[in-house]
Amino acid sequence: MYNKVVICGVDTSQLPVMREEQKQKLLKSARQGSKQAREELINGNLRLVLSVVQRFTARGENLDDLFQVGCIGLIKAIDNFDISQNVRFSTYAVPMIIGEIRRYLRDNNAIRVSRSIKDTAYRAMQVKEEFVNRHQREPKVSEIAEAMGAEISDVVIALESITEPVSLYEPVFSGSGDTIYVLDQIGDNNDDANWLSEIAFKESIKALSDREKKILSLRFMQGKTQMEVSSEIGISQAQVSRLEKGAIEKIKN
């Protein structure tokens, strides 16, 4: 992909470079209705489209498609650029091209996600990039949420929504001719042995006394030591140890 120089039939190595003065002159002519000037502007700024497209290569999208969408953004920029403003054309065109490509990616994602959530995700990505540039480190989700004035849960959901889905047949490891796929690493907890064991375990818990249930809950759910449990329940540590072992034996049996 990196060695590819032809996109949509265009040899990218031969794309012209246009000076800002030329752009301004052609923009004025295009504003006056010159189709030739508009065509020259499009052809003279294809390198700009290419530079933007390269930002999205890691997404695995077809470069031809992204290039065509970027050209639509370029044309919109040419048609809407205000020549009376003291702004370089590229300063205006780049966000237009990026926006067009992002809209395309959003609307053509394999998983349909609401526009508001995706907008939140792209805003979070922008905030993250600004944070890294300013602080030279990756921000925490809480810091991104604070900068956006949003809830942490909303930011997490939004960022997860734009994560590309992974195929079950995506190779994870390949060595000695034996390829391991994502599918090979997914377990199934719905077989007969598992759900029967779960039923048996729940039934064995019901058979325990309230004190035994309390001890197991404090020890294994809350992570307390036997001394802490003995202090909370009001019995000796030795009694806690004996009751704990007895309860575990009952469950095993």
Four-CA torsion 118, 120, 125, 129, nearest 10 degrees: 150
Same domain, 149 and 66: no
Indicate which CATH number applies to the domain containing 80: 1.20.120.1810
Looking at residue 56, the DSSP 8-state letter turns out to be G
DSSP H helical segments within the chain, as ranges? 20-31, 35-44, 46-53, 63-80, 89-107, 115-135, 141-148, 152-161, 192-206, 210-216, 226-233, 237-252
Residue 86: phi, psi to the nearest 5? -85, 65
In-domain check, residue 42: yes
Q: What is the pLDDT along the chain (253 residues), one digit of tens a residue?
A: 444 456 666 666 677 778 888 888 888 888 888 899 889 888 888 888 988 888 887 666 788 888 899 999 999 998 888 888 888 888 888 888 998 888 887 777 666 667 788 788 888 988 988 888 888 888 999 999 999 999 999 999 888 877 767 777 777 776 656 777 777 777 666 666 677 778 888 888 888 999 999 999 998 888 889 999 999 989 999 999 999 999 999 888 8
Same domain, 16 and 90: yes
Token pair 């930002």: residue? 55
pTM of the model: 0.45
Same domain, 93 and 4: yes
Query: 205 is in which domain, residue-wise?
Result: 192-252
Tokens of 219: 């020890």
